[in-house]
Chain A
């Protein structure tokens, strides 16, 4: 599992300040979300595709593997829209299903957006370490340390929670628990799985918080950081490359 997420080589994207990278990609994501122009959506998709496949530092085979779920969600979102979307110029219809020119284009637009989101997220996740993201958010973007450290503590405890969920699942299996069908079954399943998990996690979080405060962690106090993060030259390069390629995606689409 760990080997799967080890890059082939570390590209320049790895050295960009994670918080800056996050903010830039997040802004791009908002633009993708609100954009309704077909060509602009396609150009952006190409840009993010190039970013993932050339600069993430992973081999082609791994990247294709990571792209599988993204492509599946592309197909499902585009297909639903093509079959059930609204439109006037009808190409083909059968019962409730109706493919029109408009719904086909909307389907593709929706699909491009889904792919773009998938690629932006993938390139960010593959080239950044979550813990450093929070350190950089605190140092470069003034995120209050109480939030950042709560997130960091929760991320560190994630494996424990996953293990507990697995244990709970095994325990229910070995006790031969059968759930009724329908909504009642869904509720029972939800209760059986989550109540012990929540009870344990709340106790654990409470203990961690008390321990941190006992070691003089104070909300809102001035502090130093174990991992110092700064802006470097590569950050300027990153911003310039991103702005230029994004602008060209925009210009090429309005022509």
Chain B
């Protein structure tokens, strides 16, 4: 159906890179300001799931969520995040991509984007199980990942959606989105 053109591809990867840089910038700032606030840290964790759903809401084509997530992760890996970021980015992006695919890439709303974030969160949890981050007492486990799910929905659903809306207002989305049938039919009159 809607195949990716070269410009879509380049834009997707560029979005990933911009996200990678912004996240790094913020993470540094945050580490300096609040080193020991675990709860706030979990509440902001959803930021790391944002890139894939955001790219999909913007470009609305299959494959974009996964690709943007990999791009952001590769960039973070290069500027000091290390190889682990790469595997997390891949798995989280894949989860978001599969969620969009399960809606046949036809839904672009807050709920679907939020669910994609939650899917990424679960995928990340799966990796944490192997890494060893999830070997916590049950209350700590519940608090940590509970907050993370809430944050995932908030960032990927609400925030990403609103930012895409703001970008639509700037007009740049006209460069990328496929022209719909209704818009063609407008020309007929």
Q: Footprint of B on A, CB under 8 Å?
A: 25-26, 29-30, 33-34, 36, 69, 77, 80-81, 84-86, 96, 98, 103, 106, 109-110, 113, 117-118, 120-122, 124-125, 130, 146-147, 150-151, 153-155, 157-158, 161-162, 165, 183, 186-187, 190-191, 193-195, 197-199, 201-206, 208-210, 212-213, 217, 219
Question: Is the pair A151, B136 in contact by a Cβ cutoff of 8 Å?
Answer: no
- A130 CA to B5 CA, complexed, in Å: 25
Is the pair B137, A198 in contact by a Cβ cutoff of 8 Å?
no
A103 to B137, CA, bound (A): 9
Q: How many residue pairs between the two chains, A and B, have CB atoms under 8 Å in the bound complex?
A: 163
* Given contacts A33-B84, A125-B78, A209-B11, A146 and B132 within 8 Å (CB-CB): no
**Chain B hits for A219, CB < 8 A:** 6
In contact, A204 and B136 (Cβ under 8 angstroms): no
With a CB–CB cut-off of 8 A, which chain B residues contact A77? 133
Given contacts A29-B84, A190-B159, contact A150 B21 (CB under 8 A): no
Bound together, the chains give a CA A96 to CA B137 distance in angstroms of 10
Within the complex, the shortest CB–CB distance from B90 to chain A, in Å, comes to 11
B138 in contact with A202 (CB, 8 Å)? no
Q: How far is the CA of A111 from the CA of B135 in the complex (A)?
A: 13
Query: With an 8 A cutoff between CB atoms, is B18 at the interface?
Result: yes
Q: Are B175 and A151 neighbours in the complex by a CB distance under 8 Å?
A: no
CB-CB contacts below 8 Å: B1-50 with A: 5-7, 9-18, 21-22, 25, 38, 43-44
